[in-house]
Chain A
Amino acid sequence: MTESVVTPAAPSGPLLRVEDVSKHFGGLVAVDHLSFEVNTGEILGIIGPNGAGKSTILGVVSGFYPATGGKVFFQDRDITKLKTHEIVALGIGRQFQTSTLFMSLSVSDNVFYGFHLDYKSAVWKRLVRWPSARKEERRFRQRGEEILDRMGLGPVKSEITKNLPHGYQRILGICIALASEPTLLLLDEPMTGMNETEIETMLALVRGIRDSGITIAMIEHNMTAVMSLCDRIVVVDHGQKIAEGLPKEIQDNERVIEAYLGKDEMLLDD
């Protein structure tokens, strides 16, 4: 709340504003009057202990869960009541927590499916496979391959997804989200279950995505990764924001250490 402008990459105001959002599941309060902003061009980290309501926040922002209270603004537009597919169309892409991909399809088909919103040719032309519609599909294939190449999945693009190692599947989850050309990308624990090398790769990829002009808000458990990657961090506990600021500030914040670890251990130990 206090520290707002931190990003070195010259941001221009908040891209996403979460205002006083609450989400109750029956009697359970998952998110409790939470407010934060995501500025254009930054990587925002959302951290907190297990069950703090981090994933629920992303669920509310991306339209999977209707908010119990409060409002969400994207580019100054109220998106609180919109459905998932409408929110995706506005430019918020989302990667899932677990590897929910089209396991039986090839890697390149997974991304190809992600271009759903981009079809411009008339419906009847698409159905009769009119030359212009075919060209459009070829262009999507090409763009899909470009994304895969950029994210380092080029060599495995013909593999069936379920045969990929876990780390690759996570990257593919991001590739699919990138196909819808988001302005804001929501990452849900992109580094979970990854080894050191895979995490290094993922860090470079996420930075690369940011450098290509996409703003990122991510949930992550791996503290080393969060501290080195994020421009700003929001700490959530019991559905409430307990701190916000630069990685350095968060690391030294008494309340965060207390809530997050229960005692005075080093945060970096994860």
Chain B
Amino acid sequence: MSNPIAAAIVARKRLVGFIILVVFLALVPAWVKSPYYIDLVIVIMINAGLAMTFIMLLRTGLISLAVAAFWGVGAYASAMLSVHAHIPVWACLPLATIITAIAALIVGFVIIRSAGFTFVIMTTVIGMLFVVVVGNIGRMGGYNGVSNIRPPESINFGALGKVVFDSKVDFFYLGLILFVIIMLVINAFYSSWAGRAWNAIGLNPRLAQSMGVNVFRYRLMSFVVGCAICGLLGSFYAHYQTFIIPTAFNLFPKTIYIQALAVLGGVGFATFGPIVGAAALTFFNEAFSGYSNWTVIIVGALVLVVVVFLPNGLLSLGQVPSRINRWRQERAFRRGEAAGATEAEAAPADGGGEV
């Protein structure tokens, strides 16, 4: 990313990766026939989307433990609009997103002023309170949850046919479309001035300030955008499951699970990291699902192993060859130096560490 040409290459690589990913996902129903596995892929997309918002906040130096709670706000907003107000699902999706964004704006306005540890505690409280509050409101179904949430109304494409949302595959494609939109939106923010401001805040809040970045405003912005995405995913989840219970949106294990998969994929990889992380974690869970109570322990140990040996996440595996290369060059340089090469004296003055 250092010079425009390298940046263009990176951008093109990412674009190609994105297209391959979308095409690959779009073809999944062609060779995966079992509804069970289609469901798994849908859940992977939801979890990956949630993890992307977690990373988005992390970039600005905010660790949010309220990811699942805002996912729940979106789910409940959509469920209430659909069940009680009989609003069409296609209107519920954007409305739930907006409602979650407004909720995030109000909450964020209060809690973002205190960054760091206080913010972690505040979001923890929100994450835990959500279940208790919703669980105690009878009109919202209490701890029994809300059932009979309608699936999206069928759409008639005329000659192309009709989508009725009676199968997992229909939901899969709706989920994929939302997922692609979310990725595009996140990418638009990251590659714009806003993403740079977020990055600046995350790297050094004081320097960001003295460059004119309004730290509070940009943190609030990332919080609202992130939570709005959680809300959209929550709304989709509610109409997909047609049944939601408050405990599904609890801090434990949902938010922790999201964080674990974000770390597993690599928090340095804003969009692809969560996808790899979510897929890997689901794969681990499936592969060791036959060991009852041991599953959690085995998967936990595996995640631990990955984090210890690949602290930058699974995706950093891709950087291993270039690292080995650099290590080799450095070794060669050291050997040359030991042999008495004199040009080494001039080299450090330029500070050219990167070969």
Interface residues of A (CB under 8 A from B): 62, 64, 83-85, 88-89, 93-94, 96, 100-109, 112-114, 116-117, 119, 126-129, 133, 141, 155-160, 163-165, 168, 176-177, 179-180
A86–B3 Cα gap in the complex (Å)?
31
Indicate whether A106 sits within 8 Å of B212 (C-beta atoms), given known contacts A160-B354, A163-B353. Answer: no
Q: Is the interface of B mostly helix, strand, loop or mixed?
A: helix
A143–B349 Cα gap in the complex (Å)?
27
Which B residues are in CB contact (< 8 Å) with A159? 2, 351-354
Q: Does B113 contact A (CB under 8 A)?
A: no
Q: Which of chain B's residues has its CB closest to A133's CB? A: B192
Indicate whether A62 sits within 8 Å of B210 (C-beta atoms), given known contacts A127-B188, A158-B3. Answer: yes
Q: What's the minimum C-beta distance from A64 to chain B, rounded to whole angstroms?
A: 7
Q: What's the minimum C-beta distance from A93 to chain B, rounded to whole angstroms?
A: 8
- Tell which of B2, B192, B351 has the most Cβ of chain A within 10 Å: B351
Which A residues are in CB contact (< 8 Å) with B206? 64, 96, 100
A107–B2 Cα gap in the complex (Å)?
8
Interface residues of B (CB under 8 A from A): 1-4, 6, 188-189, 191-194, 196-197, 199-200, 203-204, 206-207, 209-215, 348-354
- Given contacts A126-B194, A128-B188, A168-B351, 5 further A-B pairs with CB under 8 A are A83-B209, A96-B210, A102-B204, A113-B200, A113-B211
Which B residues are in CB contact (< 8 Å) with A103? 203
Indicate whether A85 sits within 8 Å of B215 (C-beta atoms), given known contacts A102-B203, A102-B204. Answer: yes
Indicate whether A117 sits within 8 Å of B212 (C-beta atoms), given known contacts A106-B1, A127-B188. Answer: yes
Q: What's the minimum C-beta distance from B7 to chain A, rounded to whole angstroms?
A: 9
Q: Is the CB of B4 within 8 A of A160?
A: no
Q: Is the CB of B3 within 8 A of A157?
A: yes
Indicate whether A180 sits within 8 Å of B193 (C-beta atoms), given known contacts A141-B4, A159-B354, A164-B351. Answer: no
Contact of B351 among A94, A157, A163 (CB under 8 A): A163
A113–B192 Cα gap in the complex (Å)?
11
Q: Is the CB of B351 within 8 A of A85?
A: no
Q: Is the CB of B350 within 8 A of A156?
A: yes
Indicate whether A176 sits within 8 Å of B4 (C-beta atoms), given known contacts A64-B206, A113-B200, A129-B191. Answer: no
Q: Is the CB of A116 within 8 A of B213?
A: yes
Q: Is the CB of A180 within 8 A of B349?
A: no
Which B residues are in CB contact (< 8 Å) with A102? 199-200, 203-204, 207
Q: Which of chain B's residues has its CB closest to A119's CB? A: B193
Which B residues are in CB contact (< 8 Å) with A155? 350
- Total A-B pairs, Cβ < 8 A: 105
Which A residues are in CB contact (< 8 Å) with B188? 127-129
Contact of A105 among B193, B203, B209, B348 (CB under 8 A): B203
Closest 7 CB pairs of A and B: A163-B353, A106-B2, A158-B2, A117-B212, A88-B212, A84-B209, A165-B351
Contact of A88 among B3, B203, B211, B351 (CB under 8 A): B211
A270–B162 Cα gap in the complex (Å)?
84
Q: Is the CB of B213 within 8 A of A85?
A: yes
A101–B206 Cα gap in the complex (Å)?
10
Indicate whether A180 sits within 8 Å of B212 (C-beta atoms), given known contacts A100-B207, A129-B188. Answer: yes
What are 8 of the A-B contact pairs (CB < 8 Å)? A83-B209, A85-B212, A116-B200, A116-B213, A157-B2, A158-B2, A165-B349, A168-B351
Which A residues are in CB contact (< 8 Å) with B212? 85, 88-89, 116-117, 180
Q: What's the minimum C-beta distance from A149 to chain B, rounded to whole angstroms?
A: 14
Indicate whether A116 sits within 8 Å of B1 (C-beta atoms), given known contacts A84-B210, A101-B207, A163-B353. Answer: no
Indicate whether A116 sits within 8 Å of B207 (C-beta atoms), given known contacts A85-B213, A158-B3, A159-B354. Answer: no
Q: What's the minimum C-beta distance from B290 to chain A, rounded to whole angstroms?
A: 43
A88–B2 Cα gap in the complex (Å)?
26
Q: Which of chain B's residues has its CB closest to A155's CB? A: B350
Q: Which of chain A's residues has its CB closest to B202's CB? A: A102
Q: What's the minimum C-beta distance from B250 to chain A, rounded to whole angstroms?
A: 33
A155–B3 Cα gap in the complex (Å)?
12
Q: Which of chain A's residues has its CB closest to B213's CB? A: A116
Q: Which of chain B's residues has its CB closest to A121's CB? A: B193
Q: Which of chain A's residues has its CB closest to B185's CB? A: A127
A88–B1 Cα gap in the complex (Å)?
27
A94–B196 Cα gap in the complex (Å)?
19
Q: Is the CB of A116 within 8 A of B196?
A: yes
A82–B111 Cα gap in the complex (Å)?
22
Which A residues are in CB contact (< 8 Å) with B349? 165
Q: What's the minimum C-beta distance from A99 to chain B, rounded to whole angstroms?
A: 10
Indicate whether A177 sits within 8 Å of B353 (C-beta atoms), given known contacts A109-B2, A116-B193. Answer: no
Q: Is the CB of A114 within 8 A of B211?
A: yes
Which B residues are in CB contact (< 8 Å) with A179? 211
Q: What's the minimum C-beta distance from B258 to chain A, rounded to whole angstroms?
A: 25
Which B residues are in CB contact (< 8 Å) with A116? 193, 196-197, 200, 211-213
A84–B215 Cα gap in the complex (Å)?
10
Which A residues are in CB contact (< 8 Å) with B353? 159-160, 163
- Tell which of B3, B196, B210 has the most Cβ of chain A within 10 Å: B210
